[in-house]
Amino acid sequence: MADARTGSRKGWLNALGLHRSELRAWAMYDWAVSSMQTVITTAVFPIYFIQVAGADRTPEAATQSLGYANTVAAIAIALLAPILGAVADFKAAKKRFLFAFMLIGVVATAGMFFIDRGELLFASAMFVLSIAGAAGSMTFYEALLPHIATEEEIDRVSTAAYAIGYIGGGLLLAINLAWISNPGLLGLPTGDGITPDQATLPARLAFVSVGVWWLLFSIPLFRTVPEPPRTVESDEGSTANPFAVAFSRLGETLREMRLYKQAFLAMLAFTIYNDGIQTIVKMATAFGAEIGIERPALIKAILLVQFVGIPFAFAFGTLAGKLGAKLSILLGLVVYTGICIYAYGIHTEREFYILAVLVGLVQGGTQALSRSLFASMVPKHKSGEFFGFYSVFEKFGGILGPLVFAIAIGQTGSSRGAILWVIAFFVIGGAILATVNVKEGERAARDADANLRGV
């Protein structure tokens, strides 16, 4: 009976893509960092930013400032990621860089505790650092994926990590929502006589909880996932200056882009359609607040996205096994187009909840499969460099989408008109993705890894 139970457990873990300890430990980082993405990027902090840090400005002006803060963070990572990724490849230091960026993000989120009314500049600085820490750490985290998962596993592992991220981020958000809605649960003061500092204390403690959660649940990755072995190319010396090698490798990759045409096409497509996805993720609560949805309903809607996303992230991994990652992503983009059309006409809490369910259907699966599709077409010995480029392209998506949204608000006077502009990102990105030859991309990656030497 024990053997049967063990076999059953291994069977469902294999189906989920979590059948080895290093795969589970790697996926736990999604659990850790997703707390920042739900509480800080999406749910609690944007509302706090607009209503507290931006209290001296109109809601539209504060929303615009949030869009610009996202843009600054994206530019910072875009400038650093490819260089540091190539250095990490050469020095076998992906985990060290991951740790450094994680620590920046943890300190910044905890530092949000000190943001007071009207401190828009300080709030923007902490937000930029937290975004940069999360995005930078994800560059090196995702660069580990092709080293720990086989070609047959990679889609399931990536989607499983996203699903676990939904659980982790959603769980902490639920806890935060409980004490924000009912501060008495933590023994915090309530009632009409509380001071402004006491009124904001539940949200500020939520920011601290993100830093603690993020740090604590990162430990399994650092303890269990091995650093990929160091390899150098035939024309490189093992004692060469790592930054000189990094710039040399970047130049070489750009000159040989035709050899990795399919990977770069997939990355370009991702850049464009991810513009739309990130705009929805980052601006959803600000949009809801602007059209009159109350804070508890906004946070519940984000929580709904998280828990709807859990089974559907796993489902996208299964779907990719039947249809392939590329076609599964394209189906997700069709749904996103419908989401934008629906969002334009919403007015009530009920409609906002329906919107949250629709986003939950496709958000995790689409992004997870984008990651695994790209990972399947990059040389393993250059995974840090290529995911550095991937991060640049992703951050340009983070730059253009919120920037266009902010400009559209200035032109139309509200977020409602701006939401329709997002459809263009899904249409154009999907059209480029449709041209990608995945088999050719996978073959190019294998050929590039064929003649290497260990150090």
Give pLDDT, residue 235.
63
Q: Taken in order 75, 79, 85, 91, is the CA torsion positive or negative?
A: negative
- Distance between CA 198 and CA 280 in Å, rounded? 31
Beta strands in 135-271 (DSSP E): 231-232
How many other CB atoms are found less than 10 A from the CB of residue 408?
21
User: Is residue 350 exposed (0-12), middle (13-18) or buried (19+ Cβ within 10 Å)?
Assistant: exposed
CB 31 within 8 A of CB 167: yes
State phi, psi for 22 to the nearest 5 degrees: -70, -30
- Spans in the chain with pLDDT lower than 70: 1-12, 15, 191-193, 233-237, 256-257, 282, 395-399, 412-414, 451-455
Name residue, tokens 């990102």.
425
CB 285 within 8 A of CB 39: no
β pairing state of 231-232 and 453-454: antiparallel
Distinct helix (H) and strand (E) counts, the chain: 19, 2
Residue 40 C-alpha from the chain's centroid: 12
Name residue, tokens 């263009």.
424
Residue 27 C-alpha from the chain's centroid: 13
Its pTM surpasses 0.85:
no
Give pLDDT, residue 437.
95
CB 74 within 8 A of CB 396: yes
Contacts of 221 (CB under 8 A, 6+ apart): 25, 26, 28, 29, 95, 98, 141
CA distances in angstroms from 84 to 97, 182, 383, 392, listed in the order given: 8, 44, 12, 12
pLDDT tens string 266-311:
989 998 898 888 787 767 777 777 777 787 787 778 778 878 888 8
Average pLDDT, the chain: 84
